[in-house]
């Protein structure tokens, strides 16, 4: 039995589905079901007794302690977080609460549980903390990619709160010998990603003939990784990683945002042609404050020490993702009801449109 946090979100739900399909071990899925959590992502697991869903907050130590005592997990995989940079600019408080304080409460509950275990169980226990490349700050155009030795230099409230959680995890290993491992991954994309993030937002807007809002000059660079490859990396770290170590995960697929948007438009044009094409919807809008120019991950350590490598290229991963969104219009409609409209208004209304591509 393992405990997964945030398993109703984008990466967490992909991880839960892959885990049950490929490992088969039962898991408890603790998720608060914020705007980003969605039980529809897990509908395919209905009736599967190996999946126990609990709605709750990682910051609720009493609840987490109860879950440890009841289910006796051998490991924790910690995905739960506030994850969207733009939301952290509009409202940083929730990020500090969940990412810093929530991770602290979860660590305390896990440490208490681990300290009481018998010797063999204690030696085998693992806590995998899922983090991001954004903690390293921004790279210049020709800088080498981030390694595990790159200094922390977070630039947004989101990345600062993730950096805070990474430091706590590091300190728990250093001070208490707590068997924690941290993964720092680049930008993910794939099924079930909430359409506030670049790739699903652009797909959903294009299909609705709405503007495709590109921030600033669109030349910021991200290193894209298909979500299934990230899930495989996390499984591998849980299985074979060394406590106290951190592992960078990346797709070796750096792309400028504008090139990603062009690729989406061109793929849609092939799958669902429309008069005038999709590129006409591209609209340059005001930049994100403090926008990091470039991220790139050097994943040599996880590749050489743990034998992990991505299976998908950006082309194959993007094609699968676009196909998934085309086939799951009802899922998109469902997540775009509720608070989504308010968020779009908050984030985009004041940005205006600066030029057409």
**Active site amino acids:** 133-134, 158
Residues 6+ apart with CB under 8 A from 330: none
Binding region for ligand DAU (CB under 6 A): 83-85, 132-134, 186-187, 197-198, 201, 213-215, 220, 222, 257, 288, 295
DSSP structure class, residue 83: -
Residue 320 CB, nearest distance to ligand DAU (Å)?
18
Q: Which is nearer to ligand DAU, 102 or 213 (CB)?
A: 213
Q: What's the token pair of residue 3?
A: 């405990």
Of ligand DAU, ligand NAD, none, which one sits near residue 8, judging by CB under 5 to 8 A according to partner kind? ligand NAD
> What are the residue ranges of helices labelled H in 180-282?
198-207, 227-240, 257-271
Q: Which is nearer to ligand DAU, 160 or 201 (CB)?
A: 201
Of ligand NAD, ligand DAU, none, which one sits near residue 95, judging by CB under 5 to 8 A according to partner kind? none
Q: Which is nearer to ligand DAU, 132 or 165 (CB)?
A: 132
d(Cα 28, Cα 109) in Å, to the nearest integer? 15
Residue 238 CB, nearest distance to ligand DAU (Å)?
19
Residue 285 CB, nearest distance to ligand NAD (Å)?
21
The residue number whose beta carbon is nearest to ligand NAD equals 9
Residue 328 has a CB neighbour count (10 Å cut-off) of 14
Residue 127 CB, nearest distance to ligand NAD (Å)?
14
Binding region for ligand NAD (CB under 6 A): 5-6, 8-12, 30-34, 36-37, 57-59, 79-83, 98, 102, 130, 132, 162, 185, 187-188, 194
d(Cα 254, Cα 271) in Å, to the nearest integer? 24
Task: Provide the CB-side half-sphere exposure for 322 (13 A, CA).
Answer: 23
Of ligand DAU, ligand NAD, none, which one sits near residue 222, judging by CB under 5 to 8 A according to partner kind? ligand DAU
Q: Which is nearer to ligand DAU, 84 or 126 (CB)?
A: 84
DSSP-derived pairing of the beta strands 212-215 and 75-78: unpaired
Helix (H) or strand (E) holding 15: helix 10-22
Question: Residue 294 in 3-state DSSP?
Answer: strand
Alpha-carbon separation of residue 190 from 295, 312, 320 (angstroms):
19, 11, 8
Residue 279 CB, nearest distance to ligand DAU (Å)?
15
β-bridge partners, 127: 76, 180
Q: Which is nearer to ligand DAU, 128 or 201 (CB)?
A: 201
């Amino acid at each position: 039995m393992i405990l997964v946090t945030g398993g109703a979100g984008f990466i967490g739900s992909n991880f839960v589905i892959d885990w049950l399909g490929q490992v088969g071990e039962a898991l408890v899925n603790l998720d608060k079901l914020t705007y980003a959590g969605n039980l529809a992502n897990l509908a395919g697991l209905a009736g599967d007794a190996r999946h126990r869903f609990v709605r709750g907050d990682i910051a609720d130590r009493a609840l987490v302690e109860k879950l440890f005592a009841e289910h006796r997990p051998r490991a924790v995989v910690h995905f739960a977080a506030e994850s969207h940079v733009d939301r952290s600019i509009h409202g940083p408080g929730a990020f500090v609460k969940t990412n810093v304080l929530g991770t602290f409460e979860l660590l305390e509950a896990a440490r208490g549980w681990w300290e009481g275990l018998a010797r063999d169980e204690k030696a085998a226990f693992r806590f995998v903390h899922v983090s991001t490349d954004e903690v390293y700050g921004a790279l210049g155009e020709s800088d080498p990619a981030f390694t595990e030795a790159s200094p922390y230099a977070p630039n947004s409230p989101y990345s600062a709160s993730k950096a805070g959680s990474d430091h706590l995890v590091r300190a728990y290993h250093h001070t208490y010998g707590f068997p924690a491992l941290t993964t720092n991954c680049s930008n993910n994309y794939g099924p079930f990603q909430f359409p506030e993030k670049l790739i699903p937002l652009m797909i959903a807007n294009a299909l609705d003939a709405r503007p495709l809002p590109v921030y600033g000059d669109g030349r910021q660079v991200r290193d894209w990784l298909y979500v299934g490859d990230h899930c495989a990396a996390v499984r591998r770290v849980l299985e074979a990683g060394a406590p106290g170590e951190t592992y960078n995960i990346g797709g070796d697929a750096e792309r400028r945002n504008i090139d990603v948007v062009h690729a989406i438009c061109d793929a849609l044009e092939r799958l669902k042609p429309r008069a005038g094409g999709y590129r006409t919807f591209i609209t340059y809008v005001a930049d994100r404050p403090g926008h990091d120019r470039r991220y790139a991950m050097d994943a040599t350590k996880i590749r050489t020490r743990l034998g992990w490598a991505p299976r998908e290229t950006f082309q194959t991963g993007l094609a699968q993702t676009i196909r998934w969104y085309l086939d799951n219009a009802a899922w998109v409609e469902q997540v775009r009801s509720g608070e989504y409209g308010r968020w779009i208004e908050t984030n985009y209304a004041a940005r205006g449109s600066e030029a057409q591509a």
